[in-house]
Amino acid sequence: MNKMFCVWGLSFITMVGALSAQSAITDVFFHHGKQRDRLVWYFSDAFRMQRTDTVRDNLHITQLTLNDIIFDDSTVRTKALAKHFDDYFSIRVQLTHGHLRYTITYDPKNIALSLDQTRNIRGMPMLALTLQRLVTPARVPGTFTVFIDAGHGGLQTGAQANRVTEKTSTLRYAKALRDCLKEKGYQVLMTRTHDQGVDLDKRTSKANMAEADVFISLHHNFSPTNSEMRGIQIFYTHDESRTLAEHMRTALHGTVLGGNAVGDIAIKRAVAQVTYGTEMPAVLIELGYLSNQHDAAWIVQPASIVTIVQRLCQALDSFVAGTIGR
């Protein structure tokens, strides 16, 4: 595409939640993949959006205008990119005081556009623009690939409590899981192998472009108000990830965590960026509460890492066996 048109057509205004005077864009993510691309905005409060759709010379033009918005120009420009992504669509951003307009021009024979207004795992209003490729290259069969995401890293320390830092602990677990899976013959890729900060959308984009078969993000939980909370939680976003989450829950059931055997492990559907932006089954696993002294003491023990990792490997084996067997 080498033309950008600006023709107004049918429009509508929508908003999420109870509208306040102004809402701020708190973060912007761009998840790149071979099947789809997603541009995601987080808002501090309810927001107003005006959408206009037109057609010109067989190209569809969608304009999204976010009104009465507070935003950081550098963040919006960096993540919007304001350029052609490929031969089938382009995105242009216009910034004015209190208004933010995105113009998306795309070929409907190759791209399907959709919008999703929801809330993220912390309850913040969220808007996602998805550009789904209608024709994707056939994947070349190969070794089953597991992408491991060690949560946080660099300046993003994650939770810190009871003398444990989340970013350090998740990296230990991720490396141990990598070694276990490699011994079993899996191909393993990682978000990071040292104390490095990696943007959430770069984590998903790397996994998508590598065409990984599953994505596993390792974290630890934290409760600022209840130090008695403990145990393991598993989060997923898309329907295709539910089966992987169930295999994880089955394998981790009965794990002795902080002196007590883990009973029913909660599986929750929620929007976390590392599970929302992936193109393969993806789970985020919270391995115990750092805010609980018993969980925290158990988490750092070498024997605990071995136990958790062995069970996660078992879960992957059962998931793969079920997948191949279908």
The predicted structure's pLDDT at residue 4 = 35
- pLDDT value at residue 5: 34
In b/e form, how buried is each residue of 294-322, taking b as 16+ CB within 10 angstroms?
Answer: bbbbbbeeeebbebbbebbbbbbeebbee
The dihedral over CA atoms of 125, 43, 281, 317, expressed in degrees to the nearest 10, equals: -100
**CA torsion, ordered 200, 201, 206, 212, to nearest 10 deg:** 80
Q: How many residues belong to the chain? A: 326
pLDDT classification of 97: cutoffs 50, 70, 90:
confident
Give mean pLDDT, residues 248-253: 92
Q: Angle formed by the axes of helices 166-183 and 302-325, to 10°? A: 50
Count of CB atoms situated within 10 Å of the CB of 263: 10
CA geometry: angle at 310 spanning 307 and 315, to 5°? Answer: 125
Cα Rg of the chain (Å, integer):
21
Q: Output the CA torsion sign for 242, 219, 40, 109.
A: negative
Q: In this predicted structure, which of 24-28, 79-83, 286-290 has the lowest mean pLDDT? A: 79-83
The answer to whether 299 touches 307, Cβ cutoff 8 Å, is no
Question: Would you place residue 79 in the very low, low, confident or very high pLDDT band (cuts 50, 70, 90)?
Answer: low
Tell me the β-bridge partners of 219: 286
Strands 99-106 and 59-67: antiparallel
List the beta bridge partners of residue 105: 61, 90
Amino acid 78: pLDDT: 61
Burial (CB < 10 A; 0-12, 13-18, 19+), residue 175, is middle
Closest CA to 51 of 12, 19, 102, 20: 12
- Of 99, 110, 100, nearest to 58 by C-alpha is 110
Average confidence score pLDDT of the chain: 87
Residue range 10-133 in CATH 3.90.1150.10: no
pLDDT of 207 higher than 90: yes
Q: How many other CB atoms are found less than 10 A from the CB of residue 148?
A: 25
pLDDT digits (tens, 9 = 90+) for 175-185: 999 999 999 99
Looking at CATH, the fold of the domain delimited by 145-325 is given as: Aminopeptidase (3.40.630)
What per-residue confidence (pLDDT) applies to 189?
A: 98
Reported confidence tier of residue 135, pLDDT bands at 50, 70, 90: confident
Q: Tell me what percent of the residues of the chain surpass a pLDDT of 70.
A: 85
Residue 6 has pLDDT above 60, yes or no: no
* pLDDT of 17 above 60: no
Say if residue 99's pLDDT is above 90.
no
CA dist., res. 304 & res. 3, Å (int): 58
Cα 10 to Cα 29: distance, rounded to the nearest angstrom: 28
| Domain ranges across the chain | 10-133, 145-325
User: Crossing angle for the helix pair 302-325 and 242-252, nearest 10 degrees?
Assistant: 140
For residues 121 and 271, the answer to whether their CB atoms sit within 8 Å is: yes
How many CB atoms neighbour CB 156 within 10 A? 14
